[in-house]
């Protein structure tokens, strides 16, 4: 043995070690703390993003005006959710949210070249393309594509 080393008798328990000022902590307690810390990281990583959910949602907002339907362009998106299990129809209050349903046949795009059309005329044309259809806002149409 080197000078200053003392023989420690084995007592059958884990040796006590210092834990940075908290006093002596047994080795088994240090292991538990380590395991608790390693379980927290995977739980944090499994949080889901609300933005990802919004991109896959079928909830859309009906257009309350020509500007909302076209967003400065000339293309409107017409939705008929009732044929595919949704709640969007020509009786949906303009500006309200509705469920566009699921399935490939629940929406179509329509070119609006007549500058005099208001939202009611756009919705009438949507109804000719898809029964009971209504135009939706350009921003909520992105979730369908």
Write the burial class of residue 117 (CB in 10 Å: 0-12 exposed, 13-18 middle, 19+ buried).
middle
- Whether 143 and 60 have beta carbons less than 8 Å apart is answered as yes
Dihedral (CA of 138, 88, 59, 145) sign: negative
Whether residue 117 lies inside any domain: the answer is: yes
Rounded mean pLDDT for each run of 10 residues along the chain, 145 residues in total: 52 51 67 65 56 64 91 88 84 89 80 88 90 86 70
What pLDDT is stored for residue 10 in this prediction?
A: 47
What are phi and psi for residue 73, nearest 5 degrees? -105, -155
Whether residue 8 lies inside any domain: the answer is: no
Whether residue 108 lies inside any domain: the answer is: yes
CA-based nearest residue to 71, from 144, 137, 135: 137
Regarding pTM above 0.75, the answer is: no
109: domain range? Answer: 59-144
Whether residue 113 lies inside any domain: the answer is: yes
């Amino acid at each position: 043995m080197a000078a200053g080393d003392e023989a420690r008798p084995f007592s059958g328990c884990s040796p006590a070690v210092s834990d940075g000022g908290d006093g002596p902590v047994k080795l088994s307690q240090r292991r538990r703390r380590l395991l608790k810390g390693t379980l927290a990281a995977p739980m944090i990583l499994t949080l889901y993003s609300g933005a990802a959910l919004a991109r896959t949602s079928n909830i859309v907002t009906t257009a309350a005006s020509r500007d909302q339907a076209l967003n400065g362009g000339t293309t409107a998106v017409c939705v008929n959710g009732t044929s595919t299990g949704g709640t969007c129809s020509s009786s949906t209050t303009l500006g309200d949210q509705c469920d566009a349903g699921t399935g490939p046949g629940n929406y179509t795009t329509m070119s609006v070249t007549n500058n005099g059309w208001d939202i009611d005329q756009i919705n009438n044309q949507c109804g000719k393309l898809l029964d009971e259809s209504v135009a939706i806002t350009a921003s909520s149409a992105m979730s369908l594509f």
